[in-house]
Structure 1
Amino acid sequence: MSNRRKSGAGTIAGMSMLNMLIMLFSVLQAVVIARAFGTERTYDAYLVAFILPELIVFMATELINATLLPAITEALHKGGRSVARKLSASTLNLVFLAVVVLLVILELLAPRLISLMAPGFHAQDLALATILLRLLLPMMAISVLYKVALTFHHSVESFLLPNFGGLFPPIAITVCVLTLSPFWGIK
């Protein structure tokens, strides 16, 4: 077996193990959230707050993969690594600015967005969902930037190491729920 095949098999095995680890932490996150929020109104508030950032990350990821990956791959083949690196840096800077602007707008509009997304909520639940949305929005920004960086790495056939970033969201959300839920009055 050639070194390239061994390396490819190792990458596949490593990616599989990493994806399993990410799934395990995601399950842990779900268990911790269910324990902290239960299945009542506080959990509904969490779900309402979670939907918008998750939707934005999903849409941004689809857009990034559909447009950025082909552009970087073309730049890599036509101009080499330096041209691809310049395109990557410019794109990351532009996405960073866009994400910061979006983050500020969403933070300011959080109460209005929550009331639009959950019109039947009581005032107490709207307030909790707004707090949760404001806490989850920075994670959205980090996730979008991570997805851009991940696309860059994938375009140069770097797969295993960059995917460790996928561990961050479930671990961060789990730690935040465990440490901050008592301050929100959630038991």
Structure 2
Amino acid sequence: MAITTLVSYLFGILRDRILAQQFGAARALDAYNAAFTAPDLILNIFVAGALTAAFIPIFAELKNRGEDHKQFTNAVLNSSLVVVIIVGLIVFLLAPFLSHLIVPGFDAASRSTFVNLLRILLLSPIIFAISNTLGSMLVSEERFFWYGTSAVLYNVGIIAGTLLLSHKIGIYATAVGAIGGAVLHLVARMIGLWKSDYKFKFQFKLNDQYKRFLRLMAPKMIGHPVEQMIFLGFTIIASTLSAGSIAILNFANKFQSMPINIIGITFALTAFPVLAKMTAEKDRQAFSKEIKFTLKIILLTSVAAAILLYLIRQPLIAYILGGGAFTESAVKTTAYTLGFFSLSIPTESLNHLIARGFYSLKNSITPVIVGLCGLALAVGAGYFFAVKLNMGVAGLALGYFFGSLLKVSVLTFLLRRLSRKYFSVGKEIIAAEIAETHETLVSK
């Protein structure tokens, strides 16, 4: 799994390099990135959150008890497909109207390109609805090779489409490649389940397990797509800025997200089962120790990663994205934007840990509410910095930091209060650890 994840990251970097050098920071690439916002939002609201929060635990429980997990899988898969197809058709028909909402700063020609790309890319959530369901089955059955390989093949599809067709159909080649990559993503997971006892049937049986699935997925339908909603807001604002702003925003964000995924998500996922176990056992000392230890590790490594990324951002962007149609000016603007994005590496990394502290205490609604508040601040501050203070696209990255800072501050405070209901976690647990880590950093 670790190897396929690394390979997927490398292919993702190669994909971005090809897109940057092929199209540059221009309206065509802006339109492509903006067109992804609606399909991504559909996928994250109706599929991704539901699978992470509800499908895997119920599927594993049914299989361990020897009950009919196949019937449950078909009910989830078919209902997801029906909903995604209906929503996709509505978005397809409303695409010209949505272009005025999502990319209000585009001219008529660019809006037309956006509409065409959006309609092509609406196939992707349909394919991923199937693929992600199969992927959840692979994870539950601990078949990680094909699960990880699918992400690599998705990037391969985008790269191949761009290289083979862009000289004929321009930016549409990348959209075609994305759909081809989604098909490869699905095929890989079908191969992974080739010897499984699962057989697809078009059936809906709304039994107790499915009703439980719906109850579990409801909070995630709101909370899971918060990040996509932030960048939808940023896309709307960036469309009113100079050409290439949406592309630059997405490139810079991808560089920022890598250390967060490696540090924040990895350590938070590792700590989560321990925190859940300690909560179940009412073990205050073990819970406190795990929070303290993981908090220290995340703070030290994420701050170091943020500083390093800030220092090397200019040569890094120039080496990976520079050349071809991606001009020196685009490199400088991307590096400038990445500098502000690097501020949020520690806060976002900590957010993953603190949120899982709430999940371990059986509270999933608080991170959702605070996340929505962070969304409002991030977009509002982003607009203020980018437009009112004329910072351009870099102002959106600064707004993102303030939204992230609000989330981690409020969630940390509320986690301390909530945890007292379970085992009187002292006031000093988080605050003292931050002070200790600060002293460690200063001494270095």
TM class by shorter chain equals 0.7 to 0.9
Percent identical residues: 29
Displacement of 1:116: 0.9
2-structure distance, mates of 1:47, 1:91: 29
Displacement of 1:150: 0.7
2:116 alignment partner in structure 1 = 131
Displacement of 1:98: 2.3
- Structure 1 residue ranges without an equivalent (≥5): 1-14
2-structure distance, mates of 1:184, 1:128: 12
Q: Give the CA RMSD over aligned residues.
A: 2.1
1-structure distance, mates of 2:144, 2:91: 32
5 Å-filtered alignment, 1:64-83, equals 64-78=51-65, 80=66, 83=68
Q: 1:94 to 1:84 in 2, by over 3 A?
A: same
Report which of the two has the higher share of helix.
Answer: 1
Structure with larger Rg: 2
Q: 1:19 to 1:148 in 2, by over 3 A?
A: same
Say whether 1:45 aligns with 2:24.
no
2:21 alignment partner in structure 1 = 35
| Range moving further from structure 2, 124-133 or 28-37 | 28-37
2-structure distance, mates of 1:135, 1:167: 21
1-structure distance, mates of 2:72, 2:42: 23
Read off the aligned partner of 1:38 and give its amino acid letter.
G
Instruction: Please point out which of 118, 122, 146 is paired with 2:103.
Output: 118
For the 8 Å contact 1:99–1:141, the answer to whether it is kept is yes
Displacement of 1:160: 2.0
| Range moving further from structure 2, 62-71 or 167-176 | 167-176
For the 8 Å contact 1:139–1:169, the answer to whether it is kept is no
Say whether 1:23 aligns with 2:43.
no
Aligned residues: 171
5 Å-filtered alignment, 1:138-157, equals 138-157=123-142
1-structure distance, mates of 2:104, 2:94: 15
Instruction: Please point out which of 146, 160, 167 is paired with 2:145.
Output: 160
Displacement of 1:39: 0.2
Q: Secondary structure at the match of 1:112?
A: helix
2:90 alignment partner in structure 1 = 105
For the 8 Å contact 1:76–1:83, the answer to whether it is kept is yes
Q: Secondary structure at the match of 1:25?
A: helix
Instruction: Please point out which of 12, 30, 40 is paired with 1:54.
Output: 40
Displacement of 1:87: 1.2
Displacement of 1:114: 2.2
1:7 alignment partner in structure 2 = none
Q: 1:169 to 1:114 in 2, by over 3 A?
A: farther
Read off the aligned partner of 2:36 and give its amino acid letter.
F
1-structure distance, mates of 2:157, 2:9: 14
For the 8 Å contact 1:53–1:136, the answer to whether it is kept is yes
- Structure 2 residue ranges without an equivalent (≥5): 172-324, 326-444
Deviations along 1:39-80, one digit per CA (max 9) or x if unpaired, are 0221211121122222333333122210111221221233x1
2-structure distance, mates of 1:108, 1:128: 15
